[in-house]
Chains A and B, each alone.
Chain A
Amino acid sequence: MKKIYTVFLLFIVATMLACYEDKGNYDYEDISELAISFDEYSYSTTFGEEVKIEPKFNIEIPEDSPRYSYIWYLNGETRPEWNKRIFTWTADEVFKRGNVDLEVTDLKMNIVYMNRTSLNVTGIYENEYSWIILSDMDGKSHLSYFSNLEYDDEKDEFKKTKFYNDIYTSVNGEELGTGPIALQVHFRQGVNYKDEVIGNVCVFQKSGAVDLSGESFEKQIDMIQAFDGGKYPEGAIIYPGTFMDRVDVLSDQRGRLYSRFKASSYVYNSEYFLPTPLCYEDETEPVEKCQVGRGFYRANRTGYAFVYDGKNKRMLYVVNSGYSDEIAGAGKLTALPACGENDKIDEIVPLDNMNGYELIKMAMFGYGYPNYGYFLLLREESTNKVFLQIVKVTGSNGRPKIVEVKLHELKGLPGVPTLAAFPQDRPEYAFFAVGQEVYYVDLNNIGDPVEPYKSFNAKITAMNAESPSNAHMAVGLENGEFYILQIWNAKNTPEEKRIIYPVGEGAYPADNKVGRIVDIQYKQLDHWNY
């Protein structure tokens, strides 16, 4: 009986449900669903420059369509003027990986569609492929900055550039000094992985070196303040050297060396250079006529820098602090052996005795951590022949070990080069300036004669090839003209495509002439330049 009753109840309920009136609306309407996209995954601009972001839609929307409204958000905030279809903004703040959100409202259907892209705004002086130029204007030091605002990697072309003539005076409201000598970019250790360190720029000049912020070109200190007692060693004019993690070494006009042990690798300047010139190991006479291989900007990867002792014609190296940051042994000058274990000493210029040769230029390169090397551009004094000796080294933490030394005669040069430039990362070419001409040698076929690369209308007075990916080389002339050459594929680049700045065939822009160019440095943006 109970079962019959239950079945009856279920039947009644089901019957009542069937009587329920469905009032749903099944008259579907096409709402033209909108999909928003962007040309770029991430956009970039420079502080002070205008950025435009134009969205793409999956449907045709007339420019003046009243059906849609737009609101752009930059890092979660909007402004009244950001209500147009195209986002236009003159960057007034610097940030990395900012979010740009577009909200499009379909006013007819009252539906909001959204999409997001990314935007980087870099500081004015923090663009890739940019250069710092030091020149002599009637004896006065003159600092300029070439800024790449937009570069087409595929075509190897600058799309937008800006040249800041006399940037130091513009920023600091005073003259830089007199008797320009050289530039050196140097770094500190980042406090953490988010700390994007833009290296300081040290300007060496006869009136006294100054250290500038790499972010703003504002003067941070006169380098004389970094010397003990606030004065330079007697009669010394300070020249570049090497800035390592804890140990910094600078030279003077006599090629003597002075060092300081920084209290911390996290700051650019701390503690003081002592006036006592460095000696080799326990010798009592200071080394002289030295050239310091500037080495890596973050030399803790190697923990040493090569030093050419010109007075004794031998190669030394100076060490940073030990692996555990200890001071013991820091700043010590140590001799390099004559050559590697497998080298034939009569086929090279022994590193411990380079008598008979003049060192024209020394430059460091890398070929995969912890393998490094030095180019030694040598002139044989008795014959005036020019040689490139390539010293390959391995090891880090202040313990370089010579892997091999190879000596190559450079054939085909019309004279002894006054300048040379070497790309840093697994270089395939080396460049030499003789008068107004640039020559190159293919390092993979180093026995072949050098080839002319570019001829200029004035004497070449500065060259640098330390741009990322070995892409570019900057050339400065005695007449104040500044050029950028494409070099990554030197031997296959047609002559007419070798200069990529200034763009075009016209006369050199008068506004960009900066006196006699003394030095050019690539504006390194971080210390991991290998």
Chain B
Amino acid sequence: MIMKNRNIIEVLLFGCIFLMALSFQSCDKQEIETYDAEHALFFERWKRVGVEDVRIDTVGYSFSHYVGETELVHDFKINLIGDLLTEDMEYRVIVVDSLTTALPEQYTLPDPPIFHKGQATDVLSVVLHRKPSLKDKEVRLTLRLVANENFGLGYVTYTDVKIRFNDKNVIPLWWTTEVKEAYLGTYSYKKLETIIAANEGFTTFDGLSDTEKRKIALNTKAYIALHGITEDDNSPMLIPMY
């Protein structure tokens, strides 16, 4: 019986010591990291498209979908934390070598990149070049915001953006099963060229209404009939829209 009481006393004693230790710990003053810069930047990561959130810090381009184009421009959206600027200010973006396979001749970055005064958001415009070195290849370009004397970093994980681009004959992402079965039929690069030729300014089915999609398909169908276009193997170029 005495033995049992002694055990209880020991447990209580250790518990009190532990609690005291915790109390002392909470009294310890710890330095909290704060953002020293007046302004900070971060890349926009998501965009609401219809009912879905679409990631916009990682994008892809294929020059094969832009017949005749030698340059493509992509704007990454950058957000400002802090008061609006009263004058234009430079910020700093670096190419992350370890995550980049694109050659310097295949892209151009603004030099220097400027965040313009009086606005809460701005864009980083990246120009992609269709160089012979890109033919039949796909490359990756990773860009990273880094702090400078004007701007700190807004959110640590929102500092990088990526572009994959190529000059390969690949099916556009928007050429979905529905597009194939209802509007345009089986993909071929020649058909894509024909669609673009028949529909001035056309680049993608994304974001188009059903009527606009129908128009593109029917314009293409009429264009094929008018010019007697066939697939490369002389089979009929079919558009299953009526």
Query: Contact between A263 and B210 (Cβ–Cβ < 8 Å)?
Result: yes
A232 within 8 A of B: no
Which residues of B, 219-239, contact A by the 8 Å Cβ criterion? Answer: 222, 225, 236, 238
Least CB distance from B41 to A in Å reads 40
- Scan B199-215; emit 1 where CB is below 8 A from any A CB, else 0: 00000000001110011
Given contacts A274-B218, A278-B242, A284-B225, contact A327 B178 (CB under 8 A): yes
Interface size of A as a range: 20 to 34
Query: Contact between B214 and A328 (Cβ–Cβ < 8 Å)?
Result: no
A271 within 8 A of B: yes
Bound-state Cα–Cα, A279 to B242, Å: 7
Contacts of B240 in A (CB 8 A): 328-329
Q: Which residue of B lies closest to A278 (CB)?
A: B242
Of listed B214, B225, B240, residue having the most chain A CB within 10 A: B214
Query: Contact between A274 and B225 (Cβ–Cβ < 8 Å)?
Result: no
Interface size of B as a range: 10 to 19
Bound-state Cα–Cα, A282 to B182, Å: 14
Least CB distance from B195 to A in Å reads 16
B75 within 8 A of A: no
Least CB distance from B223 to A in Å reads 11
Query: Contact between B242 and A333 (Cβ–Cβ < 8 Å)?
Result: yes
Interface of A is mostly: loop
Query: Contact between A228 and B182 (Cβ–Cβ < 8 Å)?
Result: no
Contacts of A261 in B (CB 8 A): 210-211, 214
A330 within 8 A of B: yes
Bound-state Cα–Cα, A330 to B183, Å: 10
Query: Contact between A330 and B242 (Cβ–Cβ < 8 Å)?
Result: yes
Q: Residue A228 contacts which of B178, B181, B211, B236 (CB distance < 8 angstroms)?
A: B211
Bound-state Cα–Cα, A278 to B238, Å: 16
A276 within 8 A of B: yes
Least CB distance from A275 to B in Å reads 9
Given contacts A276-B222, A329-B240, A332-B242, contact A271 B210 (CB under 8 A): yes
Given contacts A328-B240, A330-B242, contact A276 B211 (CB under 8 A): no
Bound-state Cα–Cα, A272 to B208, Å: 13
Bound-state Cα–Cα, A119 to B109, Å: 75
Q: Residue A327 contacts which of B209, B210, B238 (CB distance < 8 angstroms)?
A: B210
Q: Which residue of B lies closest to A276 (CB)?
A: B218
Contacts of B183 in A (CB 8 A): 327
Contacts of B210 in A (CB 8 A): 261, 263, 271, 327
Bound-state Cα–Cα, A330 to B178, Å: 13
Query: Contact between A331 and B242 (Cβ–Cβ < 8 Å)?
Result: yes
Given contacts A327-B182, A332-B242, contact A272 B211 (CB under 8 A): yes
Query: Contact between A274 and B211 (Cβ–Cβ < 8 Å)?
Result: yes
Bound-state Cα–Cα, A272 to B209, Å: 10
A142 within 8 A of B: no
Which residues of A, 456-485, contact B by the 8 Å Cβ criterion? Answer: none
Least CB distance from A317 to B in Å reads 12
Query: Contact between B181 and A271 (Cβ–Cβ < 8 Å)?
Result: no
Contacts of B181 in A (CB 8 A): 326, 328
Bound-state Cα–Cα, A331 to B238, Å: 16
Least CB distance from B219 to A in Å reads 8
A260 within 8 A of B: yes
Contacts of B215 in A (CB 8 A): 228, 274, 276
Which residues of B, 161-220, contact A by the 8 Å Cβ criterion? Answer: 178, 181-183, 209-211, 214-215, 218
- Scan B111-125; emit 1 where CB is below 8 A from any A CB, else 0: 000000000000000
Bound-state Cα–Cα, A276 to B220, Å: 12
Which residues of A, 316-348, contact B by the 8 Å Cβ criterion? Answer: 326-333
Contacts of A279 in B (CB 8 A): 242
Q: Which residue of A lies closest to B209 (CB)?
A: A271
Least CB distance from A26 to B in Å reads 76
Bound-state Cα–Cα, A326 to B240, Å: 13
Contacts of A328 in B (CB 8 A): 178, 181-182, 240
Least CB distance from A227 to B in Å reads 10
Bound-state Cα–Cα, A261 to B181, Å: 15
Contacts of B236 in A (CB 8 A): 282
Given contacts A326-B182, A327-B182, A328-B181, contact A260 B242 (CB under 8 A): no
Of listed B210, B222, B238, residue having the most chain A CB within 10 A: B210
- Scan A263-275; emit 1 where CB is below 8 A from any B CB, else 0: 1000000011010
Bound-state Cα–Cα, A274 to B242, Å: 11
- Scan A234-272; emit 1 where CB is below 8 A from any B CB, else 0: 000000000000000000000000011101000000011
Contacts of A282 in B (CB 8 A): 236, 238
Contacts of B225 in A (CB 8 A): 284
Which residues of A, 328-376, contact B by the 8 Å Cβ criterion? Answer: 328-333
Bound-state Cα–Cα, A260 to B183, Å: 14
Least CB distance from B104 to A in Å reads 45
Given contacts A276-B218, A276-B222, A329-B240, contact A271 B182 (CB under 8 A): no
Query: Contact between B211 and A326 (Cβ–Cβ < 8 Å)?
Result: no
Bound-state Cα–Cα, A327 to B74, Å: 33
Query: Contact between B211 and A260 (Cβ–Cβ < 8 Å)?
Result: yes
Q: Which residue of B lies closest to A261 (CB)?
A: B210
Bound-state Cα–Cα, A326 to B181, Å: 9
Q: Which residue of A lies closest to B226 (CB)?
A: A284
Q: Residue A274 contacts which of B178, B214, B238 (CB distance < 8 angstroms)?
A: B214
Query: Contact between A326 and B218 (Cβ–Cβ < 8 Å)?
Result: no
Q: Which residue of A lies closest to B239 (CB)?
A: A282
Least CB distance from B65 to A in Å reads 23
Contacts of B242 in A (CB 8 A): 259, 278-279, 329-333
Of listed B178, B210, B222, B242, residue having the most chain A CB within 10 A: B242
Bound-state Cα–Cα, A328 to B217, Å: 12
Least CB distance from A260 to B in Å reads 7
Q: Which residue of B lies closest to A281 (CB)?
A: B242
Contacts of B214 in A (CB 8 A): 261, 274
Bound-state Cα–Cα, A331 to B181, Å: 14
Bound-state Cα–Cα, A4 to B179, Å: 102
- Scan A435-463; emit 1 where CB is below 8 A from any B CB, else 0: 00000000000000000000000000000
Q: Which residue of B lies closest to A333 (CB)?
A: B242
Contacts of A331 in B (CB 8 A): 242
Least CB distance from A284 to B in Å reads 4
**4 nearest A-B residue pairs (beta carbon):** A328-B182, A327-B182, A328-B181, A284-B225
Can you add 11 more A-B contacts, CB < 8 Å, to A279-B242, A328-B240, A330-B182?
A228-B211, A260-B211, A261-B214, A274-B214, A276-B215, A284-B222, A284-B225, A326-B181, A328-B181, A329-B240, A331-B242
- Give chain B's interface residues, CB within 8 Å of chain A: 178, 181-183, 209-211, 214-215, 218, 222, 225, 236, 238, 240, 242
Can you spell out 11 A-B residue pairs with CB atoms less than 8 angstroms apart? A228-B215, A259-B242, A260-B211, A261-B210, A261-B211, A276-B222, A328-B240, A329-B240, A330-B182, A331-B242, A332-B242
